[in-house]
Amino acid sequence: MHTLVRSTPWRRVGPVLIVGLAFLMLVGTPGAASAAPQIPTASPTQLAEAIASPSVVNVGVHWKGYVDFPSPLDLPGGVVFTHDGWIGPFEVDTSCSGFIANSTGYVVTAGHCVDDQSMTSGGKAALVDAFIAKYESTWSYTSEEVAQLRQVIETTGRVEGVESGAPPDRTVTVYLAGMSGGSSGEVANAVDFKTQADGDVALLKIETSSDLPVVVVAPSAPPTGTPIVLAGFAGSVSGVVDANQRPSFKDGETSSVQTVDGVPFIEVSAAATAGMSGGPAADTQGHVVGTISFKPGGETQQFNFITATSTVRSLLARNDVSNKLGAPDTAYRLGLTAFYGRHYHDAVSQFNQVLAVEPNNVSAQQYKRLSIENYPNEISSGNTALYIGIAAGAAVIIGIGVVVLVLWRRRRVKSNTPPASGYGPVGAEGFPPDAPPPATASPMPLARVGGAPAPSNGSNGQGATGTGGEVEAPSAPLLGETPDVDALYCPNCGSPHDRDSRFCVKCGTNLEYHQAGHGVSGA
């Protein structure tokens, strides 16, 4: 038995589609999802701090030497100072900052931090200060007279190391505060430096068993008004004993490019305190534009100078030090971008790449931990799944709509097609599946309006057989004959039938359909 396929009415499917789409719109609305705590988006200066932090180091220098000057020394005001031979030895510790310029252990700092030549800065000046500090309490000198004594010693005196004629003894230690375990310090070699009068920058080298995080020097000087961040460690080296100590950051902007005795420096409106000398000044992209150099004497406002960008680049170039990001440096920056974008799984993946090469990178460790803690606030995982669900649901509803539309159109086509019989849908041959097909094996009998049915023995009505076995088709009434209005013929096979007949007895054609105005046979 054949089953009649019925299309789903729109009046039943329409409400379902409307409710489904409304539900998807509700779920897809950002406010419909559960609100997660928002992680503040990093400001440009905060991002610069995060980039620079692992590479900022503390530089400690231990100085030891002797001080000598002519004796007796006549000072203004009738004060006479006498001594016998070299005075000392004196020992003093100074503290500066710096940054890692190459993953193999090259560090950039301020030149005056390791300068063992100048009498007005560096180690010699520190030892003269130590000499004055030791004896000042026993003198009856005023502060002005002490300043005069320092000036005379700087002009006519000498400062040497333990060996005669040698510069003061110097031991440089780099503390990798950005690396866990870095508080113990690494002894560094002073590869090269420029004095404060010549640009104030130095290059150190430490030995390391693993790659170190790097920051890159900008290709050119920053324009006036560029936002910057100064990074460094305030205080003495003795304060660097905790591996968790973090550098200080002071933000401001570049003011102008100035020269001191023809040497370029960049003026900045950012504060810096003792111990931060040599620390990097970074722009909002994390590029180093100079190192913290000096502050005008007696200045109380945020007014400092940093070395020129070209001075730092020149020092690296003349010592053939490559300054570029490695794979872990790139991964670290991608991790920060993912973290502040609330893509915490991606952030962890990037920080894992960093820690595979730099297992002691404190910043990478901390950001990885924060990323894991914020998995529930993930913006990529939760919303991506939500959007995938919405897309899938929309696809299902659209698919249902397409199917319903096709069935509806097919139903309309069927409803406009005249049926072959009253038994149901038209079959493959144009007949109802449950109706017998018309007999076509024998010739169709002849009939005339008002006459008797033609004989079924194949004769033409006169007892003669048709030529060649051909059969004449039913004919209309002859001219002048009066048709029998009660006699009708099947429009399909031509067989006669009564006006009250519903179906043709020969072929099963629906006669009521044609009598209703769709092609009536006869009058």
- Beta strand 87-102 with 79-81: parallel, antiparallel or unpaired? unpaired
C-alpha 233/C-alpha 59 separation (Å) is 9
- Dihedral sign, Cα of residue 355, residue 358, residue 359, residue 363: negative
End-to-end Cα distance, the chain: 38
**CB contact at 8 A, 438 and 492:** yes
| Helix/strand/coil percentages in the chain, nearest 5 | 35, 20, 45
Q: Which residue's structure tokens are 């779920």?
A: 27
Confidence of residue 136 (pLDDT cuts 50, 70, 90): confident
The reported pLDDT for the residue numbered 381 is: 47
377 pLDDT exceeds 50?
Answer: yes
Residue 14 phi/psi, 5-degree rounding, is -55, -50
What local confidence, expressed as pLDDT, does residue 463 receive? 40
Confidence bin at 522 (pLDDT 50/70/90): very low
Tens of pLDDT along 506-516? 777 777 766 66
Cα–Cα distance list, 290 to 204, 318, 415 (Å): 16, 17, 85
Please give the pLDDT value at position 149: 84
Any idea which residue has 């060649």 for tokens? 468
**Contact by Cβ (8 Å): 254, 228:** yes
Q: Quickly tell me which residue has 């534009």 as its tokens.
A: 289
Confidence category of residue 434, pLDDT binned at 50, 70, 90: very low
Cβ atoms of 230 and 252 closer than 8 Å: yes
Confidence of residue 357 (pLDDT cuts 50, 70, 90): very high
What are 58's strand-pairing partners? Answer: 97, 175
**In this predicted model, which residue has the larger pLDDT, 177 or 421?**
177
Task: Encode 105-159 in three state secondary structure.
Answer: CEEEECHHHHCCCCCCCHHHHHHHHHHHHHHHHHCCCCHHHHHHHHHHHHHHCEE
How far apart CA 479 and CA 467 sit, in angstroms, is 25
- Tell me how far apart the alpha carbons of residues 19 and 393 are, in angstroms, rounded to a whole number: 12
Enumerate the β-bridge partners of residue 158: 68
Q: What is the mean pLDDT of the chain?
A: 76
pLDDT per residue as tens digits for the range 219-241: 999 999 999 999 999 874 445 44
Chain centre distance of CA 250: 27
Q: Look-up: residue for tokens 């007895």?
A: 505
Is 347 strand, coil or helix? helix
pLDDT above 70 (res 389) = no
Alpha helices by DSSP H, listed for 319-379, are 327-340, 344-357, 362-373
In terms of pLDDT, which residue wins out, 505 or 112? 112
Q: Looking at per-residue confidence, does 123 or 40 come out higher?
A: 123
**Residue 301, pLDDT score:** 57
From the list 476, 474, 466, the residue with the least C-alpha distance to 504 is: 474
Out of 4-8, 60-64, 140-144, which region has the weakest mean confidence (pLDDT)? 4-8
Contact 20, 254 (CB under 8 A): no
478, pLDDT greater than 80: no
* Maximum mean pLDDT: which of 17-21, 77-81, 441-445, 486-490: 77-81
Cα–Cα distances (Å) from 105 to 108, 174, 205, 243, 333, in that order, read 10, 10, 6, 19, 20
pLDDT of 423 higher than 50: no
Q: What is the pLDDT of residues 274-288, one digit of tens each?
A: 899 999 999 999 999
The amino acid occupying position 133 is A
Q: What is the dihedral sign for C-alpha 48, 49, 50, 56?
A: positive
Question: Phi/psi of residue 345, each to 5°?
Answer: -65, -40
Give Cα 143 distance to the centre of its chain.
Answer: 59
Tell me how far apart the alpha carbons of residues 357 and 76 are, in angstroms, rounded to a whole number: 62
**Mean pLDDT within 4-18:** 48
Cα–Cα distances (Å) from 13 to 23, 346, 350, 398, 516, in that order, read: 15, 43, 49, 12, 34
Better-predicted residue by pLDDT, 160 or 463: 160
Per-residue pLDDT, averaged over 322-333, amounts to 96
Phi, psi of 331 (to 5 degrees): -65, -40
Count H helices, E strands: the chain? Answer: 11, 17
Give the bridge partners for 268, in sequence order. 254, 304
At which residue do the structure tokens 């519903």 appear? 502
Mean pLDDT of 363-390: 77
pLDDT at 515: 61
Q: What is the pLDDT of residue 101?
A: 98
Q: What span, in angstroms and rounded, lies between the C-alpha atoms of 97 and 279?
A: 5
Overall average pLDDT of the 34-52 stretch: 70
Q: What is the per-residue pLDDT across 79-97, written as a single tens digit (0 to 9) for each?
A: 777 888 899 999 999 999 9
pLDDT bucket at 406, cuts 50 / 70 / 90: low
Beta strand pairing call for 288-294 and 248-260: unpaired
CB-based contact 13:353 (threshold 8 Å) = no
> Can you tell me the mean pLDDT for 471-491?
47
Q: What is the pLDDT of residue 491?
A: 76
Do the Cβ atoms of 31 and 390 come closer than 8 Å? no
pLDDT of residue 396: 60
For residues 259 and 475, which has the higher predicted lDDT (pLDDT)?
259
The pLDDT assigned to 147 comes to: 86
CATH class as words, domain 47-318:
mainly beta
Cβ-based neighbours of 286, under 8 Å, separated by 6 or more:
47, 48, 51, 52, 215, 216, 333
How much is the average pLDDT of 264-270?
A: 92
41 vs 46, more confident = 46
Whether residue 166 has pLDDT greater than 70: yes
Per residue in 302-319, pLDDT tens? 668 999 999 999 999 999
Are 270 and 201 spatial neighbours (Cβ–Cβ below 8 Å)? no
Average pLDDT over residues 410-421: 54
